[in-house]
Structure 1
Amino acid sequence: MTINETLFTAIDFESAGTAPGKTDAPVQVGTCSWSPNTGITDTWISYIHTEQDITWSAQKVHGITRQDLRHAPKLMMLWPKIKKRLKNHAVVAHGHGTEKRFLNAFPGHGFGPWIDTLQLTRAAWPELPSHSLGDLCISLQLEEKVNALVPKKTWHDALYDAVASVVLLEKIIADFSLEQAPLSCLESPDTRAWHALRP
């Protein structure tokens, strides 16, 4: 399958943060579907109820409080909505470790292939001083576009970060003329091959 035939869905989780003796838990999820031919076709966001306390350091990053989660559904209740958006799509995340870990709550879900925009940008622009999602969007002048697509939101909101991931993916595909390339070239980027593609 080529890239321009693929429907991508970016997913981002915000978390309660790690505390001694406890595993981390998701408190918000956002998704954004996109394809080279149709652009953004679906955005979705939800808080996620957890019994775990939100650490001070995590709350300082994303601003989510216990009050925000009071009437939120538990993660398992969101399974139909998550499955609808990720099944048969290429799944995009910026540093996909957290997203894969939280989706392990649904054994055997079979989501993928996974496209990691952190790996891709390291291959595409190794000279940039930072490959964090926010710094990349600022360096590549993408922040204004993300703001227009997700007004009244900002970094470390799950929907904002998911939209930023697909805007970043769109930039990579356009700059390296990858529309007709096989999807596999995004799954495991070869640094040498990507340097050869640079204009």
Structure 2
Amino acid sequence: MTLGEPWTAADYVVIDIEGNGAQPPELVELAVVPLRGGVIGDVQAWLVRPPTPITWHARQIHGISDDDVTSAPSFDDIVPDVLGALGDAIPVGHAVHNDLAVLRRILPGWAPPFAVDTLRLARHVLDLPSYGLGALVEHYDLGVGLPAGMRAHRADYDALVAAKLLIELAATLNPRGTTLAELRQAAGTTSAAAAVDRTLFDLL
């Protein structure tokens, strides 16, 4: 695969993490959505029992309580499943550096070559008053056709709409066909194999 090929020639995994409000964040929920050949696959999602309680502020955002994760596995219990879902694909996320920071801390052997940030891509191709995921879902009407019961700020919903968002943004970036090089440049991708590049992240 070369950077001159269509962006759809690469395999992607769209990720979203919900945390417990601690600093640094501890995982409460993780969702992974494969994107191969420009086609969105099935969502894989896990509730995770964090080592410390979920804060009130975090509960107000995602609605997950300590009771909801009492019987959930610890992250160590699901590491093989998570690594299998991530594979060797390119990670994608909205403000993806947040997700990478958490995953690289708890998956020290996971080192994808770079990641695609739909927030940076949206800022590159659109002129909107807000680039939050909710505003972009509304802009592209991405909530249509989602499975019943999904709601914003849960990992499965956010990962799935981010996958749909990437497809829309890539089509907007170059209607004749976005290449992997164009996507990488426009999305301000980051190397997950190296130390966190604060200079790049500060551009967000």
Q: Indicate the TM-score class for this superposition, using the shorter chain for normalisation.
A: 0.7 to 0.9
CA offset digits 1:95-149 (Å, max 9, x no partner): 0122111112111311242010001000011x200001111110222222xxx23
**Does structure 2 conserve the Cα–Cα contact (< 8 Å) formed by 1:95 and 1:119?**
yes
User: Structure 1 residue 45: deviation in Å?
Assistant: 0.6
Q: 3-state DSSP class of the match of 1:13?
A: strand
Instruction: Give ranges in structure 1 of 5+ residues lacking alignment.
Output: 192-199
Select between 50-59 and 104-113 the one with higher mean Cα deviation. 104-113
After TM superposition, list the pairs within 5 Å mapping 1:32-43 onto structure 2: 32-37=33-38, 39-43=39-43
Q: Distance in 1 between matches of 2:130 and 2:45?
A: 27
User: Structure 1 residue 163: deviation in Å?
Assistant: 0.3
Give the aligned length: 183
- The alpha-carbon distance between structure 1 residues 190 and 54, as it changes in their structure 2 partners (threshold 3 A), is closer
Of the candidates 153, 157, 171, which is equivalent to residue 156 of structure 1? 153
**Does structure 2 conserve the Cα–Cα contact (< 8 Å) formed by 1:9 and 1:92?**
yes
Select between 114-123 and 72-81 the one with higher mean Cα deviation. 72-81
User: Structure 1 residue 28: deviation in Å?
Assistant: 0.3
Of the candidates 165, 171, 175, which is equivalent to residue 172 of structure 2? 175
Once superposed, what is the RMSD of the aligned Cα atoms? Answer: 2.0
TM-score by length of 1: 0.84
- 1:189 aligns to what? 186
- Return the letter of the residue paired with 1:15: G
CA offset digits 1:66-86 (Å, max 9, x no partner): 111111111122211221122
Q: Distance in 1 between matches of 2:103 and 2:176?
A: 29
Q: Distance in 2 between matches of 1:184 and 1:78?
A: 34
The alignment status of 1:75 with 2:72, answered yes or no, reads no
User: Structure 1 residue 179: deviation in Å?
Assistant: 7.6
Q: 3-state DSSP class of the match of 1:136?
A: helix
User: Structure 1 residue 180: deviation in Å?
Assistant: 4.8
Instruction: Give ranges in structure 2 of 5+ residues lacking alignment.
Output: 189-204
Select between 134-143 and 24-33 the one with higher mean Cα deviation. 134-143
- Return the letter of the residue paired with 2:73: P
Q: Distance in 2 between matches of 1:15 and 1:47?
A: 10
Q: Distance in 1 between matches of 2:176 and 2:77?
A: 36
- Return the letter of the residue paired with 1:45: A
- Return the letter of the residue paired with 2:107: F
Of the candidates 8, 29, 32, which is equivalent to residue 4 of structure 1? 8
